[in-house]
Structure 1
Amino acid sequence: MMQINETSSGVLVLTLTAKRIDAASAVHFKDDFREATAAHSGRVVMDLGSVTFMDSSGLGAMVAALKAMGGRKLELCKMTAAVDKVFRLTRMDKVFLLHADVEHALSFNDSKDVDAA
């Protein structure tokens, strides 16, 4: 469900390979996320470019992932139009850091505008 890469600067990049995050896959997603980030204390960027559908269970799984970060931000990027719409309608776009793509996320610093998606 996710590919894991760590950059030379210590940023963990999780690339979701699932097309859907819904009731059927939410528990698996949360387990994979916890396992991938358990030993990592730095930044985490999640590439959602493959996800074409997310329902309320999927959104709940994303919030659970954020909570598992222990106060750190979970940065999301490459959201498809359908997923972006879910985040904006539920105002979760104000909770997560959103980036247009992985490159933008990796070049991000706190003085820049994050909502470039």
Structure 2
Amino acid sequence: MKLNHKDFDGSRLVTVCENRIDALSAIQFKDEMRKMIDDGPNRVVIDLSQVEFLDSSGLGAVVAALKSKKSDQSLELASLQPAVEKVFRLTRMDTVFSIHDNASSAIEGAADAS
């Protein structure tokens, strides 16, 4: 599971460089995200623009990442592809996560709020 990250003023953008988060990659995703969150700033945004498929294991891994954050951290999502967005909507996880249309607006929004 390849994840890239870039830090901005008070935010970390984590880009998932895979087209699937499924049963085969969910554990690896969860482990890598835990590292990104543990040493990250108070705000972490996951860019899912390259992820075209997310199954229940993948959804569970994203939820596990949310649960692993510190109490003073936020974990947000950006750039959900239609199939991935549908999974979040059908499971009502879209009410649990802050979801941004794209990564640049998520990061710019944080900069504007500072």
- State the match for 2:106 in structure 1: 105
User: Percent identity over the alignment?
Assistant: 45
Structure richer in helix, relative to its length:
2
Q: For the Cα contact (< 8 Å) 2:42–2:74, is it kept in 1?
A: no
Return 13-22 or 65-74, whichever deviates more. 65-74
CA RMSD of aligned residues (A): 1.4
CA positional deviation for 1:41: 3.5
CA positional deviation for 1:10: 2.4
Q: How many residues align?
A: 109
Instruction: List 4+ stretches of structure 1 deviating above 6 A.
Output: none
| AA in 2 matched with 1:102 | A
Show structure 2 runs of 5+ residues with no match.
Answer: none
Partners of 1:40 and 1:63 in 2: CA distance? 17
- State the match for 1:81 in structure 2: 82
CA positional deviation for 1:52: 0.3
Structure richer in strand, relative to its length:
2
TM-score by length of 2: 0.89
- Matched residue SS, 1:108: helix
| AA in 2 matched with 1:44 | V
TM-score by length of 1: 0.87
Partners of 1:99 and 1:60 in 2: CA distance? 20
Q: For the Cα contact (< 8 Å) 2:69–2:75, is it kept in 1?
A: yes
